[in-house]
Amino acid sequence: MTAHKILLLVLDGISDRPCPELGNRTPLQAALTPVLDRMARDGICGIMDTIGPGIRPGSDTSHLSLLGYNPYEYYTGRGPLEAEGSGIHMEPGMIGFRCNYATLDTQGRVTDRRAGRIQRTEALSAAIQDGVDLSSLGIEFVFRSGAGHRAALAFKGVDLGVSVTSNDPKKEGAPPLSFSARDGDESDKRTADALAAFVRQAEGILRDHPMNASRVSQGLPPASTVLIRGAGKMGHFEPFSSRYGLEGSVISAAALISGIGTAVGLSRVEVPEITGSTDTNLVGKVSAALDTLKAVDFVLMNIKGADEAGHDGRARAKMEFIEKIDSALAPLISLEDCLVAICADHSTPCSVKDHSADPVPVVICGEGVRVDRVIQFDEIACAEGGLHRINGSSLMPILMDLLNRSPKYGA
């Protein structure tokens, strides 16, 4: 028998390096994961460089690679994809940016780059959308909230460039940086000037917003400015359905991943109470994936909370969230007529608090899969599996072959 559908489950940043507080085990090794271990025992395992050996992947470039879109050809910057995933319809040529709400002190220094990981910022974003005016610069814009402290911005206008610096100082205790054109090009300078005007007007709106007044009264950091980075021009993506002959959907709380999905033609599935953090609705997300697979051939599902714990350097919290993930994945064991591929998009070691180039574990289980001898899903055990070490760009061709839908090369 041959399966006819694919569930690609990306456990964002789940892989790690040995953590002293976990007995020099990774959070994945230390966690109790009977479901993931069952998938490993019933499937074929390996480790994977999502871009290539020694290359530290972004979540954007890694997901493009996992979907079979060469990031060196298709990637133009994170901003357009973040904007697309935040509900902004990005037409080719529009300029997109990724944004953070952040907190400033009375001297104008950044005291929290995520504004206390503020949630539900839609009212703030709507006030900025209504109150900022860039018409004198000949620029239309759209500003939308993403998950948590994140947001996205898009510019539409004539002679706009993308080679501009960010105002994000990348650390607390320093003031936001000035926007500037990297190469002195007039189109880039025009974009930099528009960004400065946008932030200046947005700060005035945020200063007087009732939501911030309420946060201050509760002792919470207000969202007092917008940090902007990741400029890029929206390009053209070959539709996923044309490339693979599969109709698909994407399930993710992260605007970036949703944006990548919709950019390649996957339909977005909304799930209540998914946050992109460790408090996300895991059961609802898995249930939505199973329901969606009844109507489509392919589902990309991203679960992000482990990545957040890695960025924060919280090894035990990462381990505990992995155990929550594992419990929620139990319904996948009985899934029929579907290949289930589980992997990470990159490693996020707690010791680094950022992405690393360490390869990630991957397992494929389902009908027609050659079962190897691996019985545990982690970074070390999977390295002994039958897939050996592959690149992320090889995953979709492998899955398509297992569906018996891969074209023959040669006679």
- In this prediction, residues 125-145 reach a mean pLDDT of 96
265: left (phi over 0), alpha (psi -120 to 50) or beta: left
Q: What pLDDT digit, counting tens, does each position of 355-383 carry?
A: 999 999 999 999 999 999 999 999 999 99
Mean pLDDT computed over 138-161: 93
CA distance 302 to 253: 8
- Residue pair 3/368 in contact (Cβ under 8 Å)? The answer is yes
Say what percent of the chain tops pLDDT 70.
100
pLDDT attached to residue 228: 97
Beta bridge partners of 338: 5
Residue 254: the pLDDT is 87
Given a cut of 90, is residue 43 above it in pLDDT? Answer: yes
Taking phi first (over 0 means left), then psi (-120 to 50 degrees means alpha), and beta for anything else, what does residue 108 get?
Answer: left
User: pLDDT (tens digit, 9 = 90+) per residue, 75-104?
Assistant: 988 899 989 998 999 988 899 999 999 999
Q: Taking 80 as the threshold, does the pLDDT of residue 305 lie above it?
A: yes
Enumerate the CATH 3.40.720.10 domain ranges in the chain, comma separated.
Answer: 5-76+236-402
Fold adopted by 5-76+236-402 = Alkaline Phosphatase, subunit A (3.40.720)
What pLDDT sits at residue 314?
97
Does the pLDDT at position 184 exceed 90?
A: no
Q: What is the pLDDT of residue 276?
A: 82
**What is the four-CA torsion angle of 260, 264, 270, 275, rounded to 10 degrees?**
-10
Indicate the average pLDDT of the chain: 96
Q: What's the whole-number mean pLDDT along residues 189-195?
A: 97
CA distance between the termini of the chain: 25
pLDDT digits (tens, 9 = 90+) for 210-234: 999 999 999 999 999 999 999 999 9
Q: What is the pLDDT of residues 21-30, one digit of tens each?
A: 999 999 999 9
**What is residue 275's predicted lDDT score, i.e. its pLDDT?**
83
Dump pLDDT digits (tens) for 54-81.
999 999 999 999 999 999 999 988 899 9
What is the pLDDT, as a whole number, of residue 239?
Answer: 96
The Cα angle at residue 389 between residues 378 and 286, in degrees rounded to 5: 45
pLDDT reported for residue 148: 84
| pLDDT > 80? residue 1 | no
